[in-house]
Amino acid sequence: MLPSTVNESYSVRVAGDAMGFAAAHFITLDNGETEPLHGHDYRVAAEMTAPLGPHRYTVDFVAVEKALRGLVRELDHRTLLPERHPAMQIDVRESEVEVRLAARRWILPRRDCVLLPIENTTAEALARHLAAELWSKLAEHVVRPPIALRVEVFESPGFSAACTLAPATEPR
């Protein structure tokens, strides 16, 4: 039997093969090295915590799934580039993107690149980016705002990073 006072929390989770994308990237490491350009078959899962509504559900699964699928579709079969990287220069031209980092240089087709508002294309930064974008998209389609939104990005089986966003509370 439950105690007379208990806190309840409800979440919905959207994940699966439809929430995946294949993309190329490279990251810079703490030791100053840069990984070679390589790819992953990423998978994404999103979990939204929200209060139950009058019909006893938190949010329509379909709304979360549709918004998340749209976000991962934008990244699919692209090279992910961090436009806020402090040492990287990215020159976007009509048909190509030139990327320079120290002595390295890449020339990529423009249509194959996605410039993301992040500092490094780590799984953590991708999770944060997707969480922020999903939060914005859900704000347009849900009645009750989330208490928290967690997005997990899997680079490969067994290797993932997650970001949880929640409204800041005002200091008292």
Flag whether 99 is in a domain: no
The count of domains in the chain is 1
Confidence of residue 127 (pLDDT cuts 50, 70, 90): very high
Write down the pLDDT at residue 170.
61
Confidence of residue 168 (pLDDT cuts 50, 70, 90): confident
Flag whether 2 is in a domain: no
Tokens standing for residue 165: 């966003």
Flag whether 59 is in a domain: yes
- Identify which has the larger pLDDT, 93 or 63: 93
In angstroms, the CA 97 to CA 150 distance is: 32
In angstroms, the CA 22 to CA 106 distance is: 19
Flag whether 103 is in a domain: no
Confidence of residue 145 (pLDDT cuts 50, 70, 90): confident
Write down the pLDDT at residue 172.
58
The residue-averaged pLDDT of 102-131 equals 97
Which residue range(s) make up the domain with 73? Answer: 11-27+40-83+120-165
pTM of the model: 0.92
The CATH number linked to 128 is 3.30.479.10
Flag whether 51 is in a domain: yes
Flag whether 129 is in a domain: yes
Question: What's the pLDDT tens digit per position in 32-55?
Answer: 899 999 999 999 999 999 888 888
Flag whether 71 is in a domain: yes
The residue-averaged pLDDT of 120-141 equals 94
